Structure 1
Amino acid sequence: MNKAVQPPKARKIPAELEIHGDIRVDNYYWMNDREDPEVIAYLNAENDYCDKQTEHTKDFQKDLFDEMKGRIKEDDQSVPYRLNHYWYITRFEKGGDYPIFSRKKETLQAPEEVMFDVNLMAEGYDYYRLGGLNVSPDNKMVAFGTDTVSRRKYTIRIKNLETGELYPENIENTTGGSTWANDNKTLYYTKKDDQTLRSFQIYKHILGTNPVEDELVFQEDDETFNTYVYKSKSKKYIVIGSHSTLTTEYRVLEADNPEGNFHVIQPRIRGLEYSISHFEDDFYILTNRDGAYNFKLMKTPVTKTGKENWIDVIVHRPDVLLEDIDIFKDYLVVGERKNGLNEIRIIRWDKSDDYFIPFDNETYTAYTSINPDFDTDVLRYTYNSMTTPTSVVDFNMVTKQKTVLKEQEVLGGHFDKNNYTSERIWATANDGTQVPISLVYKKGIKKDGTNPLLQYAYGSYGSTIDPYFSTVRLSLLDRGFIYAIAHIRGGEYLGRNWYEDGKLFTKLNTFTDFIDVSKHLIAKNYTSEENLFGMGGSAGGLLMGAVVNMAPHLYKGVIAAVPFVDVVTTMLDDSIPLTTGEYDEWGNPNDKDYYEYMLQYSPYDNVIAQDYPNMLVTTGLHDSQVQYWEPAKWVAKLRELKTNDNLLLLRTNMDTGHGGASGRFEALKEVAEEYAFLFDLAGIKE
């Protein structure tokens, strides 16, 4: 650390924020204006300070970048999948930062048709993302979305795949996704609210007309809901979904009849969640109806869709979370989770067979992949573990034979999966709950408390961080780090109740679980306070913020990426993207009880005069998920109050948003900076 370099000092302008008779003083509220030159100057000053404090690691960062890039096959391509007479392929060329999307007609020996070379399209942009590719039923056109700012506001264009020409229409401020009706000229898409970025309108566009004249077919007026549109796998229905944290609703229209009216499957009832899949004369419904908190599978005739007509197909089981289904002509494939582990179950419709694909350890991830074809006996799934690179597997559901189509190549000549070991252990939380931890490390490590260990978690929205393989992570493991994923409450690793026990009025469990996992890892001599590091991003950044307030002494260093740290103020501002849709996750602080509970953990509100660990905080100026001013204000307040001289760095990417850099390898530069921060603190110089 260069003590001669002084950190920026943000100006304090007290703003009084009053609600429920309580006044909070926010000295850095003024940073909530990305057009203010003083805000930009402050962010640039922090970047300059970060540069100077990490200057001595710049060569190491470059070495790490080259090392991580060197493990990745540059001229790589996806396993082709077949859809409507074409094989679709995504590939990368050496030196290219972006994908090339192509297809081949009928056979893989046919000439390649390049649909998009994103390397050419991205020229001249600091950020570029192409998504939502959607080919028309006659295979002649493709709709696609582009975002050049990283605010997740996409412009939809349409390309003629026969002539290569772009149609003149630009459909702006969308999610980027769209779906064609079966007439090859009607396109449905989702518009966003310009300010809050909430997906709230479904429009119908007719090819060749002015988008200004597009017909609004559905508007979601409840501000806690988002809406979206897609086509059923059967290709028979256009489906509009409305979704909030606790409630869903679907409406459908036959894709052959775009002039018709949408029909609601089951009107929304607060707390009723369901999703639909179409097969023959029925809709199959994954739902939590009747207290099925881990979900069950029901079905109903397409002519009578209200919940009074639903009947059980797979009943609710308290020890098995039903996550998803995939329907084939002869088989129903069910994705389940039991005791934290993924399971893929195969059921013949005629009931003559019902079995699980066998997997063999406790730190793996397996899930069904792209399966657009109804009429096949082959299921495609993806498998990896913390020590095993990702494989794409075709599994014959009749013969039960599996064919590995591709295993991720790890280049560089040094990787051997037998050099690493993984395990799952359990920590006891402060309330007696057993919290699982997935670990990976190089074989031969002694558990003597001297190992540097990076503990990662997320813990919100029921989003599960499964144990997965990472080529990038090898740079940690090969230098003696242990890597731990803490499967804390707030995710769904151990079922829906695991999520319910880490949200709203039980949110504190998320933070105390992480701390108790840290204590367990120290007690079992995997690491020590001098060697333990924490990391989380977005809602996981909130986790980091809460943890460093509650137990700062446990960690040598912490990385908080795009952290959601100003919880109360953000959740009181319904003009900010995502706020209204998240009341069921965090609570609505306009309610005094939620306000008081959230104030107990909101990181920004709980910064106090105490020692804090070394910290690297990252954000993006155009972030639409967590606004840049949350981490900026947090760092300013930490600078003001912390009582030690540990490193505190803020890195703002002035060109991007929540997901960071858009290029395939540009993102590795951000990881290299994070890893160099950890290595520097751990005394690892190369």
Structure 2
Amino acid sequence: MTDAPIARRDAGSDPYHWLEQRDTDAVLDHLKAENAYLEAQLADRGELREALFQEIKGRIRETDLSLPVPWGPWLYYQRTTAGDEYPRHYRCPRPADGSLSVDESAEQLLLDPNALAGDGYLSLGAFTISQDHRLLGYSLDTAGDEIYRLFVKDLDSGSVSELPFDDCDGQMTWANENRTLFFVTLDDTHRPWRLYRHALGDESADLVFEEADGRFFLSCYRSSSERQLILSLGSKTTSEAWVLDADKPRGEFACVAPRQEDHEYDVDHGLLDGQWTWFVRSNQTGINFALYVADEVQPGRQHWRQLIAHDEKRMLEGVTLNRDAFTLSLREGGLPIIEVHPQAAAPYPVQLPDAAYSLYVQDSLEFHSPAIRLRYEALNRPAQVRQLELASGEQQVLKQTPVEGPFDADAYESRRVWATAADGTQVPISLVARKDVLAAGTPAPLYLYGYGAYGESLDPWFSHARLSLLERGFVFAIAHVRGGGELGEAWYRAGKLEHKQNTFGDFIACAERLIADGLTTSAQLAISGGSAGGLLIGAVLNQRPELFAAAIAEVPFVDVLNTMQNPDLPLTVTEYDEWGDPNQPEVFERIKGYAPYENISAQAYPAILAVAGYNDSRVQYWEAAKWVAKLRATRSDNNLLLLKTDLGAGHGGMSGRYQALKDVALEYAFLFKVLGVA
């Protein structure tokens, strides 16, 4: 059997720093040796991996049509075909009867990513049609490093032109005259910082805006009304918006409200009482945000009028605008809520069938549309696209994600339980299992997932692959720890900066609650998280390793102290608002106190699988590699410790739907081996 690779240990405070020397023979040889070791250790699970892959693939409808989106004279849609890694993009003439019936005899193939990808990596960034429906702008990342090339396709002739611009972040935004494109480029730290204006046919582009502050990211998008272009600048705590008439792309962007530290706001443009109006979501009167409006010609902050007041119990996460209504995306009690405000009627909440779920506005459709589309799913309910009639509140399920083969949603039970953290805070847990597993009253294998950063909410979601766990008697649970956004802005703030330990303590409390309830035991408990969630996994493994039997860390942010001291790396400076600036001595000590890499000690750890992407621009491959190297040299156990580096992928793993399923099959095979599950 292949021996575990032992990384060279250099002198100094960071003995594995040499693993950061990208593209050197020593580094590549080490990563390849780790990959070979993983394959050798899981060789006895080869048949299981293939069986799991086929099992998961067998639940997915391989040939399917997306729900068509009506826009102008066309229906736009995607079609997946068995054997293809990527969906193809099409359109056909919009039926006169208002239906969504696709006319295959008249359809037009707009883009085929399968032909573009070949056998390599491919990520489609922008896919944007000009207002006259004659041109398609799209962007492609062919390495996984999130650097895109820009293309324009003439949909009449089929001719494709690559735009001669480098270091693009993938954004492309059309002006209304169908000739001008706005795009964004990246600085040396991979931060979107410059907005350019390009007129088709020109060899060059005009620099429109440059954001010098390294904390701020730049983006550009169209307003809901299609009448305005919006330039958005945001750090983790502060924002600023500039606007431009979309009919006059050669004009100058105007600032809505100059940035003020800790003031976050975003703007959109629509109708209110028949008048063109700016809608502004702002936290100027409270951390859960309020909604303001301003006249079209006077968007400045001094002209804002309050429309929806700040509410201590409800977080205002977003606003969707249509001609006849505006729709609020709210969060209350750990759950998403949609509230519709018709122009000429009383507001109402959207009614839903489950106790714990995921819900968001998937598509506002055309601005004048009388309906919007919602995406709704639960741990035991496949995703549905629901059409909501804005005036009446009537809902219609237009499409439900199919599950091929035997599947009965009623055979599974979803629950919401609460753990008590060390400071008494109640932390929600969402879980799902087969009803007979829960009814048996005996401990079962349990897969506990967590994230807990950036205010992101892990709302319950359905997974075809997860059924392979549930059908083998697993319980699946999500720990909604502080640092996420599930219970509003205060929940996020209570898990960042000097409060980061709350994230780790909450996760441990969730694990302890699940064990105390008899749902699982430490010997059956597997934990998982990715990116900032990988930091969570690394931290709790150091703090309470005996609590867990196995851990999976996807592109884990485990070298946080060294990364945050290197301002030349992508994202570092803008991350100061999340983790703190380690150039300040007290912050340095605080991060050092929980950083997974620094706190590895000579203790027994559970079995661990770490996954990295060599081209990852967000969490560098060496974070996982250094972490695993130090664990191998320091730990006191002989449990399985594996590192898989996707040498042709980035932060999101390998592209293509089949390759992604193979990655899941690998992870499940690892879990089944270390937990002793057949």
Q: Please give the TM-score of this superposition, normalised by the length of structure 1.
A: 0.96
> CA shift at 1:376, angstroms?
2.3
1:284 pairs with 2:291: no
> CA shift at 1:449, angstroms?
4.9
Q: Return the alpha-carbon distance in structure 2 between the equivalents of residues 271 and 581 of structure 1.
A: 14
Identical aligned residues as a percent: 40
Secondary structure class of the residue paired with 1:167: strand
> CA shift at 1:104, angstroms?
1.4
Q: Return the alpha-carbon distance in structure 2 between the equivalents of residues 203 and 506 of structure 1.
A: 39
Contact 2:322–2:367 (Cα < 8 Å) also in 1: yes
2:19 matched to which residue of 1? 31
2:137 matched to which residue of 1? 143
Q: Return the alpha-carbon distance in structure 2 between the equivalents of residues 156 and 458 of structure 1.
A: 33
Counterpart residue identity of residue 415, structure 1? F
1:401 matched to which residue of 2? 394
Q: Return the alpha-carbon distance in structure 2 between the equivalents of residues 109 and 119 of structure 1.
A: 22
Contact 1:490–1:499 (Cα < 8 Å) also in 2: yes
Secondary structure class of the residue paired with 1:666: helix
Q: Return the alpha-carbon distance in structure 2 between the equivalents of residues 399 and 240 of structure 1.
A: 34
Secondary structure class of the residue paired with 2:662: helix
2:7 is aligned, of 7, 10, 14, to: 10
1:67 matched to which residue of 2? 55
Contact 1:393–1:404 (Cα < 8 Å) also in 2: yes
Deviation per residue, 1:308-338 (Å, 9 max, x gap) = 2211111011111111111111111111111
Counterpart residue identity of residue 544, structure 1? I
Q: How does 1:190-201 map to 2 (within 5 A)?
A: 190-193=184-187, 195-201=188-194
> CA shift at 1:361, angstroms?
2.5
1:155 matched to which residue of 2? 149
Q: Return the alpha-carbon distance in structure 1 between the equivalents of residues 669 and 21 of structure 2.
A: 32
Contact 2:321–2:364 (Cα < 8 Å) also in 1: no
1:570 matched to which residue of 2? 563
Counterpart residue identity of residue 250, structure 1? A
Contact 2:342–2:391 (Cα < 8 Å) also in 1: no
Deviation per residue, 1:276-327 (Å, 9 max, x gap) = 110143210111112x111111111222222222111110111111111111
1:637 matched to which residue of 2? 630
> CA shift at 1:345, angstroms?
0.6
1:223 pairs with 2:214: yes
Deviates more, 1:180-189 or 1:77-86: 77-86
Deviates more, 1:335-344 or 1:475-484: 335-344
1:264 matched to which residue of 2? 255
2:414 is aligned, of 401, 412, 422, to: 422
Contact 2:224–2:322 (Cα < 8 Å) also in 1: no
2:550 matched to which residue of 1? 557
1:377 is aligned, of 370, 373, 388, to: 370
Q: Return the alpha-carbon distance in structure 2 between the equivalents of residues 8 and 582 of structure 1.
A: 33
2:98 matched to which residue of 1? none
Contact 2:372–2:388 (Cα < 8 Å) also in 1: yes
Q: Return the alpha-carbon distance in structure 1 between the equivalents of residues 77 and 222 of structure 2.
A: 21
2:300 matched to which residue of 1? 306
> CA shift at 1:402, angstroms?
1.6
1:669 matched to which residue of 2? 662
> CA shift at 1:271, angstroms?
0.3
Deviation per residue, 1:150-199 (Å, 9 max, x gap) = 00000001110000001253333212121111111111000011x31110
Secondary structure class of the residue paired with 1:604: coil
1:616 pairs with 2:613: no
Contact 1:169–1:209 (Cα < 8 Å) also in 2: no
Q: Return the alpha-carbon distance in structure 2 between the equivalents of residues 391 and 450 of structure 1.
A: 32
Secondary structure class of the residue paired with 1:63: helix
Q: Return the alpha-carbon distance in structure 2 between the equivalents of residues 12 and 324 of structure 1.
A: 49
1:410 is aligned, of 403, 406, 409, to: 403
Secondary structure class of the residue paired with 1:578: coil
1:387 matched to which residue of 2? 380
Contact 1:133–1:142 (Cα < 8 Å) also in 2: yes
1:431 matched to which residue of 2? 423
Counterpart residue identity of residue 337, structure 2? E
Deviates more, 1:397-406 or 1:491-500: 397-406
2:592 matched to which residue of 1? 599
Deviation per residue, 1:395-435 (Å, 9 max, x gap) = 222333221111111002x2111110010000000000000
Structure 1 gap segments, 5+ residues each: 16-24
Q: Return the alpha-carbon distance in structure 1 between the equivalents of residues 392 and 622 of structure 2.
A: 56
Q: Return the alpha-carbon distance in structure 2 between the equivalents of residues 605 and 683 of structure 1.
A: 31
Secondary structure class of the residue paired with 1:575: coil
Contact 1:564–1:630 (Cα < 8 Å) also in 2: yes
Deviation per residue, 1:51-91 (Å, 9 max, x gap) = 11111011100000000011000111211111232211011
2:239 matched to which residue of 1? 248
Contact 1:169–1:208 (Cα < 8 Å) also in 2: no
Secondary structure class of the residue paired with 1:593: helix
1:118 pairs with 2:113: yes
Contact 1:286–1:298 (Cα < 8 Å) also in 2: yes
1:40 pairs with 2:28: yes
Counterpart residue identity of residue 379, structure 1? I
Structure 2 gap segments, 5+ residues each: 96-100
Contact 1:167–1:208 (Cα < 8 Å) also in 2: no
Counterpart residue identity of residue 304, structure 2? W
The number of residue pairs the alignment matches comes to 666
Counterpart residue identity of residue 185, structure 1? R
Contact 2:365–2:372 (Cα < 8 Å) also in 1: no
Counterpart residue identity of residue 31, structure 1? L
Q: How does 1:310-329 map to 2 (within 5 A)?
A: 310-329=304-323
Counterpart residue identity of residue 510, structure 1? T
Q: Return the alpha-carbon distance in structure 2 between the equivalents of residues 226 and 661 of structure 1.
A: 26
Deviation per residue, 1:353-397 (Å, 9 max, x gap) = 211111133221111111131212212111111111111111222
> CA shift at 1:682, angstroms?
2.0
1:232 pairs with 2:232: no
Q: Return the alpha-carbon distance in structure 2 between the equivalents of residues 168 and 679 of structure 1.
A: 47
> CA shift at 1:349, angstroms?
2.0
Contact 1:563–1:619 (Cα < 8 Å) also in 2: yes
1:337 pairs with 2:331: yes
Q: Return the alpha-carbon distance in structure 2 between the equivalents of residues 498 and 187 of structure 1.
A: 39
Secondary structure class of the residue paired with 2:363: coil
Q: Return the alpha-carbon distance in structure 2 between the equivalents of residues 62 and 606 of structure 1.
A: 37
Counterpart residue identity of residue 520, structure 1? R
1:535 pairs with 2:528: yes
Q: Return the alpha-carbon distance in structure 1 between the equivalents of residues 163 and 279 of structure 2.
A: 37
1:129 is aligned, of 117, 123, 126, to: 123
Q: How does 1:326-365 map to 2 (within 5 A)?
A: 326-350=320-344, 352-365=345-358
Q: How does 1:575-590 map to 2 (within 5 A)?
A: 575-590=568-583
Deviation per residue, 1:135-161 (Å, 9 max, x gap) = 111111111000100000000011100
Alpha-carbon RMSD across the aligned residues, in angstroms, is 1.2
1:20 matched to which residue of 2? none
1:203 pairs with 2:170: no
Contact 2:550–2:675 (Cα < 8 Å) also in 1: no
Secondary structure class of the residue paired with 1:277: strand
Q: Return the alpha-carbon distance in structure 1 between the equivalents of residues 278 and 501 of structure 2.
A: 39
Deviation per residue, 1:599-650 (Å, 9 max, x gap) = 1100001011111010000001111110001110010000010001111000
Deviation per residue, 1:453-473 (Å, 9 max, x gap) = 000010000001001111110
1:91 matched to which residue of 2? 79
Contact 1:448–1:527 (Cα < 8 Å) also in 2: no
Secondary structure class of the residue paired with 1:520: helix
**Structure 1 runs of 4+ with >6 Å offset:** none
Q: Return the alpha-carbon distance in structure 2 between the equivalents of residues 27 and 447 of structure 1.
A: 50
Contact 1:206–1:214 (Cα < 8 Å) also in 2: yes
Secondary structure class of the residue paired with 2:310: coil
Secondary structure class of the residue paired with 1:462: coil
Q: Return the alpha-carbon distance in structure 2 between the equivalents of residues 287 and 141 of structure 1.
A: 35
